[in-house]
Amino acid sequence: MTPISLEVEVTTSINDVNADGMMIVMVVDDKESLKADALSSKLPAWMKADFLAVAKKRKFVAKPGTCLAFDAPDGTRKTVLCIDGKAGVFEMLTAVRKHIDAAVFDAKVKRLAVDLTHLGAKAEDFADALISAAGAKLYKFPKYKTAKSEKGKESDVDDESEDLSVTFIVGKPRIADVEAATVRGMNATTSGTNLVRWLAKRAGNDLTCKAYVDYLRQLAKDRKWSFKHLDHDQLTKMKAGAFLAVVKGSEHKDYGIIELTYTPKAKSAKHLALVGKGMVFDTGGYSLKPSAYMLGMHGDMAGSAVALAVLNVAHLEQWPVKVTAYLAVADNMIGPKAYKPNDVVTSMKGTTIEIIDTDAEGRMVLADTLHLAAQAKPTLIMDFATLTGACVRAIGTTYSGVFTNREELHGDLIKAGKKSGERVWPFPMDKDFAECLESTVADFKQCREKGGVDHIEASHFLMHFAGEHSPWVHVDLSSIEHAGGLGHVPTTETGFGVRFATTFLRDYFGIKH
């Protein structure tokens, strides 16, 4: 992954900061519109005169979400950003994403000072939002162009990496909280969300099953995680018929379930199992996708990337919980041996499955992977997948859907979505939703033939394999892509899920950070 350079400090006086960019964040009531004179009366001396001169010229009116950025006579880029005092984390992330170019990157600011003294308890949320937005903006996607770099080497990123240092100015009582918030933002966004964006953007002939497995093996070695590759032969011995049905059309037998484990220094009875769908490419198989729907299917492994990124955050923050990620790395290809509609396969659990649609492959590889994870009887199982178009149709691409076998978790899931700024909504899991999966020839149908509410029905299918012993949460990543960016992320590829999951899991396991 392309590294970024982002440094953060927290201090109590702007006089101690050497900066070429200076920002102050002001609270404006959602029903309030302040003209330049009224707002300037609330500004400190270092901003007041410069702001007033520019604001009157531009006829600036302060409302929640508005921003005035300008070059001051002393050569610094100065910015006044107005936010609603009742704004949630999502609104803050969005506001910073929309204005960070004007405040920082368009002016090529390298050292930014941000005055948060007017925000009170909102200072931590805003510090996290700015670090997250800056970290997402600084990241450069992989490119496959042959343009020569200045050193004469081929460049595989879109342009030179930028660097930024940010100093937050806060009141003394808030220093520790703001420092903690920036660390959370750096871990969940810089090392987490960007990791998902990088993996999901890589071309399908670049991030093959073999390349993905090799990357995971090296990462495990670097992080000192345990690594296990359950390959074709091992999965055959384990009778993982659901997984193996999907990969029957693959040319190479380099797929498998990858098991990565982070073990805390102090022995813990708590064990988190993360499960991720890692389809490096999905043609739909014999239920072939139309060409327009096949484009972008190199990103169908994003669920596994989210699970991996959460594991990495646990490692960075040294969570006092054992964490195992089970990543279903596979592809769904056409070929003479590929599985077909009306085939009947036997899963690792022993459940027989009637195949209806070979394009419903995600639930098949996850079935065996979830069953494997459930055998360890973890404290919690959480899986991530770009699973159904039905979830996109049901909730759009600004939220993701969540499903669980413990209805009492609904409130905690919603709360974590709001707290992280990555919003989710739980769907019902009443038993009658599963009636459509009854088969006359097998224990289950893979899915119904047509119609229905596939996001809920697919979750029922998965729930059978997750079992009832452990609480289980399934995240259908309908917002893994959103045109124009979402929250703090400025690109269609959002990397959604890491902030939400880490927030939920920290609270679930009582992890203080």
Strand, coil or helix: 156: coil
Phi-psi region of 322 (alpha: psi -120 to 50; beta: other; left: phi over 0): beta
b/e sequence 177-191, b meaning 16+ C-beta within 10 Å: ebbbbbbbbbbbbbb
DSSP state string for 252-288: S---EEEEEEE--SS--S-EEEEEEEEEEEE--TTSP
What's the rounded Cα separation, in Å, for the pair 464 and 466? Answer: 6
Locus of tokens 């670090």? 131
Burial (CB count within 10 angstroms: exposed 0-12, middle 13-18, buried 19+), residue 305: buried
Strand, coil or helix: 226: strand
Q: Are 60 and 68 in contact (CB under 8 A)?
A: yes
What's the rounded Cα separation, in Å, for the pair 22 and 94? Answer: 20
Whether 97 sits among the annotated catalytic residues: the reply is no
215, two tokens: 């990357």
The angle subtended at Cα 96 by Cα 92 and Cα 99, nearest 5°, is 140
What's the rounded Cα separation, in Å, for the pair 47 and 40? Answer: 8
Q: Are 26 and 62 in contact (CB under 8 A)?
A: yes
Phi, psi of 126 (to 5 degrees): -70, -40
The count of other CB atoms within 10 Å of the CB of residue 348 is 22
| Catalytic site residue from 77, 78, 184, 363 | 363
Question: In the chain, what is the straight-line distance between the N-terminal and C-terminal CA atoms, in Å?
Answer: 26
Helical packing angle, 123-138 and 175-185, nearest 10°: 30
CA gyration radius, the chain: 24
Q: Are 23 and 117 in contact (CB under 8 A)?
A: no
| Catalytic site residue from 289, 406, 418, 448 | 289
Cβ-proximal residues to 92 (8 Å cutoff; 6+ apart), any chain: 83, 122, 125, 126, 129, 421
Whether 363 sits among the annotated catalytic residues: the reply is yes
* Residues classed as catalytic: 289, 363
